[in-house]
Structure 1
Amino acid sequence: MPHAFQCRVYYEDTDLAGIVYYANYLKFIERARTEWVRGLGIDQARLKAEAGIVFAVRRVEADYLSPARFDDLLTVETAAEQLTPARIVLRQTVLRGAERLFDARVTLVALGASGRPARLPAELRRLLA
């Protein structure tokens, strides 16, 4: 079951044509990922402080299917697609009602304090799975 995060399109999210500026979809899915992780009970600040681990986006594959507009209520669905010891692949979809507007496949990597890839702690992998 995917995690659902709702957000409203504000005037600042739109371009001169009155549609959501393409880069803002990345902000929407970032917020949804943060809430997905929080909803799993993972405190990212504590993870960094205690284990020295942070998440970084390694890759984004995005398909813009239909424009969102000012004042639309959007739902961002997030679901884990693949999990390795140091990597998470997510499928994220932005919807307006039942209409798909944007699809993304996002690869996250865990980085240690040195900035190099790091293994996720076993308890964290369990929560993400």
Structure 2
Amino acid sequence: MTFSMNQKVLFKHCDPAGIVFYPRYFEMINDCVEAFFAECGTPFEVLLKSAGVPTVQIAATFTAPSRHGDQLVLALDVLRIGASSLDLEINADADAGAARRFTANSTLVYLGVAGRPTKWPDALRLSFTSHLRSTP
């Protein structure tokens, strides 16, 4: 099941040319990941008291510009659940899915209190499984 988050493009996201300044997309991606973890039952404000989930790899392809006022839908799929890592794909579309704006692939790693990779807690791993993209 794909996790989706709506994002209106705000003035703060745009550069003087009136389009989204690409680093703002990475902030939107992080907002989507944070909302995803909350949906999975572990909001960041709880998780970050005893652990961390840094992004250790990210790649993005930008396919069309977004402008102030555009309504985007960020769709997050889990591609792979490792012992302590999580591979995600996030697609952002506008116009009810008719216009892809970007695709991003990232890897997160769960770090324990010692700052070392640690196995995902069972409850969180189970929540991720419900968002795992099935392969055709």
TM-score (ref. length: structure 2) = 0.87
Percent of matched pairs sharing the same residue:
25
Which stretch of the first structure deviates more once superposed, 59-68 or 106-115? 106-115
Structure 2 match to 1:81? 79
How far apart, CA to CA, are the structure 2 residues paired with 1:13 and 1:53? 29
Measured after TM superposition, the shift of residue 78 of structure 1 is 0.5
Aligned AA (2:20):
V
Measured after TM superposition, the shift of residue 40 of structure 1 is 1.7
Please list every run of at least 4 consecutive aligned residues from structure 1 whose deviation after the TM superposition is greater than 6 angstroms: none
Structure 2 match to 1:4? 4
1:73–1:96 contact (8 Å) kept in structure 2 = yes
Structure 1 match to 2:47? 47
Q: How many residues are matched?
A: 127
1:115–1:9 CA distance, 2 compared to 1 (3 A): same
1:53–1:118 contact (8 Å) kept in structure 2 = no
Gaps of 5+ in 1: none
2:123 aligned with 1:123, yes or no? yes
Measured after TM superposition, the shift of residue 48 of structure 1 is 3.8
1:11–1:43 CA distance, 2 compared to 1 (3 A): closer
Following superposition of structure 1 onto structure 2, how do residues 90-109 of structure 1 map, counting pairs within 5 Å?
A: 90-97=88-95, 98=97, 99-109=99-109
TM-score (ref. length: structure 1) = 0.92
Gaps of 5+ in 2: 130-136
Measured after TM superposition, the shift of residue 45 of structure 1 is 3.0
How far apart, CA to CA, are the structure 1 residues paired with 2:37 and 2:2? 12
CA RMSD of aligned residues (A): 1.2
What SS does structure 1 have at the residue aligned with 2:60?
strand
How far apart, CA to CA, are the structure 1 residues paired with 2:19 and 2:45? 34
Measured after TM superposition, the shift of residue 12 of structure 1 is 1.5
How far apart, CA to CA, are the structure 2 residues paired with 1:105 and 1:56? 14
2:16 aligned with 1:34, yes or no? no
- Report Cα offsets for 1:81-123 as digits up to 9, x if no partner: 0001100000001110211100000100011122221111222
